[in-house]
Amino acid sequence: MSVRHRHTITRLLAATALALPLTLPATPAAAAPAGTPTRQLTDVIPAPAETRPDPRNTFTLSPLTVIRTTPHSTPARQVGRQLADILRPATGYPLPVLPVQATPLPEIALLIGGADARLGQEGYQLDVTRRGVTIRANTSAGLFAGTQTLRQLLPAQIEAPQRQRTTWAVPGGSITDHPRFAYRGAMLDLARHFHTVGEIKAYLDLLSQYKINYLHLHLTDDQGWRIQIDSWPRLTTVGGGPGTGVDGAGPGYLTKADYKAVTAYAAERHITIIPEIDMPGHTNAAQSTYAELNCDGVAPPPRTDTAVGYSSLCIDDELTYQFIEDVIRELAEITPGPYLHIGGDEAHATTDEDYTAFMRRVLPLVGKYGKRAFGWNEIMQVDPATDVVAQFWGTGTTNTDLAEAVARGNKVVMSPANKTYLDMKYDRNTPLGLSWAGYIEVRDAYDWNPAQRVTGVGEDAVLGVEAPLWSETLRTLDDIEYMAFPRLPAIAELGWSTAASHDWESFRTRLGAQAPRWRLQGVDYYPSPQVPWL
């Protein structure tokens, strides 16, 4: 069955299930007794650092429940409103968001400040008693993470867009949680097939549920240029115009307004956008648009095939650096996050000498406009400054340039292609995706340790993990979802949860219990035979 066909069935089933509650009494759960929670305190992805269940202390949401936030804290109120938006549709309860105040009403208290220092910048403490739920954090990012945990502790029906009849019980006890790694990323390739603002936002919504905090956007490649640059306007009108993208599927690009909307939407979910302009290879879209970017002054034809490694900017030409500086300057201006990714992978049409010369000129430009550079691991060949982050995408377990860079002090984001590449097929029958790095079943994606993957790249050198999704074969949001779910939650758990908690049996059980949520959210996931799906 085609992915799209299967998805239609999923949607129909969800719609049928949703039609039922409309005929139910107005406040069904109000009359229901406080039941046994359908969830346990440990049923969370990514697994929290510490959980202390207390079954005597179930809390049940009711029409009287209020959400209370730290007085005079706009960030806390914002998290409160976002939580109310999640909880209102399915419960039908008013859940007003009010400042903290002593009252006898049952409440969900969201508090910023005064939390345990161990929680750091993203951790939270969640306590569930019969009277209510309290989430404490040092920052709004931590508070937001805590609300995503609370969401998973509620019955799956909480994800339904319309009122449901159930008891909204939260299992009692407490959770103390904070991430193992500061960087937990995903990547979306907009160049091979463009994905709209709406699709990117939908992906951000899904990512935020699993405490992913970076989305790397691969904005340019041989097939298409997907971000507006005012000083080189044809990059998008031609390079991102009709017929661009694999198999000529274009047009599409983000205007600066679109890009700002995406970064703002991400920020509300405590996700930082990292834009990537790939160079000096993967540049055919720019070079076929502007003839002057080629050494011979002749524009090559546009390309819509999936070959790699054939394009290179002209390393000895000053115009190349003017072009790059314009792009970096304009992109830095609209990027609130600290990082700018300059690619650097598969530059097979550039000599090693030229590659080094190019990177040594370009890397300082990133700093000049106030950003910190990211590059695919090849960039470590040029011995860059120690603030440059390497993104490892190899399939092996040794890389001399990378180990040497780590010894000098560079940090690494781990994206081994045979573990984290969401565009690899699950098995030989997967209708979408590629297989050059092998098939990646859920267990393959989960069963590895980011701090023990590459010789010489240990826990302290690892900034975190990232799951890239290249889009040669992917067009729609359904396609994206089908490749990302359920492997994305596996990578999210590797990034957040302690190494000591790593346990496939536990993970696959918790993963299987996520499926009812995905069905209600309309997420088109791959029903891996390795997972006991509910």
Q: Which residues are catalytic?
A: 346
Let me know: does 523 contact 485? Beta carbons within 8 Å. yes
Let me know: does 424 contact 488? Beta carbons within 8 Å. no
Question: Under the criterion CB under 6 A, does residue 349 sit at the interface with ligand TNX?
Answer: no
Helix (H) or strand (E) holding 165: none
Figure out which of the listed residues 182, 308, 332, 349 binds ligand TNX, where binding follows CB under 6 A. Answer: 308
Question: Under the criterion CB under 6 A, does residue 194 sit at the interface with ligand TNX?
Answer: no
Give the burial string for 382-420 (b: 16+ CB within 10 Å, else e): bbbeeebbbbbbbeeeebeebbebbeeebbbbbbbbbbb
Figure out which of the listed residues 225, 232, 421, 496 binds ligand TNX, where binding follows CB under 6 A. Answer: 421
DSSP states along 96-149: -EEE----SS-EEEEEESS--GGGTTT-EEEEE-SSEEEEEESSHHHHHHHHHH
CB of 420 to ligand TNX, least distance (A): 10
Question: Which residues in the 79-118 window bind ligand TNX by CB under 6 A?
Answer: none
* Alpha carbons within 13 A on the beta-carbon side of 39: 32
Question: Under the criterion CB under 6 A, does residue 299 sit at the interface with ligand TNX?
Answer: no
**Residue among 288, 305, 309 at smallest CA distance from 249:** 305
CB of 344 to ligand TNX, least distance (A): 8
- For ligand TNX, give the closer residue by CB, 238 or 246: 246
Figure out which of the listed residues 225, 376, 392, 507 binds ligand TNX, where binding follows CB under 6 A. Answer: 376
CB of 324 to ligand TNX, least distance (A): 19
- DSSP letter at 184? E
Figure out which of the listed residues 346, 383, 401, 447 binds ligand TNX, where binding follows CB under 6 A. Answer: 346
Three-class SS of residue 463?
A: strand
- For ligand TNX, give the closer residue by CB, 345 or 441: 345
- For ligand TNX, give the closer residue by CB, 76 or 440: 440
How would you class 56 by CB atoms within 10 Å of its CB: exposed for 0-12, middle for 13-18, buried for 19 or more? exposed
Question: Under the criterion CB under 6 A, does residue 326 sit at the interface with ligand TNX?
Answer: no
Structure tokens at 201: 């936002």
Question: Under the criterion CB under 6 A, does residue 345 sit at the interface with ligand TNX?
Answer: yes
Figure out which of the listed residues 98, 100, 249, 434 binds ligand TNX, where binding follows CB under 6 A. Answer: 434
Let me know: does 205 contact 216? Beta carbons within 8 Å. no
Give me the residue label for tokens 């700093």.
367
Question: Which residues in the 381-410 window bind ligand TNX by CB under 6 A?
Answer: 393
Structure tokens at 146: 């805590």
Question: Under the criterion CB under 6 A, does residue 525 sit at the interface with ligand TNX?
Answer: no
CB of 376 to ligand TNX, least distance (A): 5
CB of 308 to ligand TNX, least distance (A): 5
Question: Under the criterion CB under 6 A, does residue 261 sit at the interface with ligand TNX?
Answer: no
Question: Under the criterion CB under 6 A, does residue 470 sit at the interface with ligand TNX?
Answer: yes
Count of residues in contact with ligand TNX, rule CB under 6 A: 10
Give the burial string for 211-236 (b: 16+ CB within 10 Å, else e): bbbbbbbbbbbbbbbbbbbeebeebb
Q: Is the Cα dihedral 402, 407, 410, 416 positive or negative?
A: positive
Question: Under the criterion CB under 6 A, does residue 355 sit at the interface with ligand TNX?
Answer: no
Question: Under the criterion CB under 6 A, does residue 374 sit at the interface with ligand TNX?
Answer: no
Question: Which residues in the 111-170 window bind ligand TNX by CB under 6 A?
Answer: none
- For ligand TNX, give the closer residue by CB, 76 or 437: 437
The site for ligand TNX (CB under 6 A) is made up of 308, 345-346, 376, 393, 421, 423, 434, 470, 472
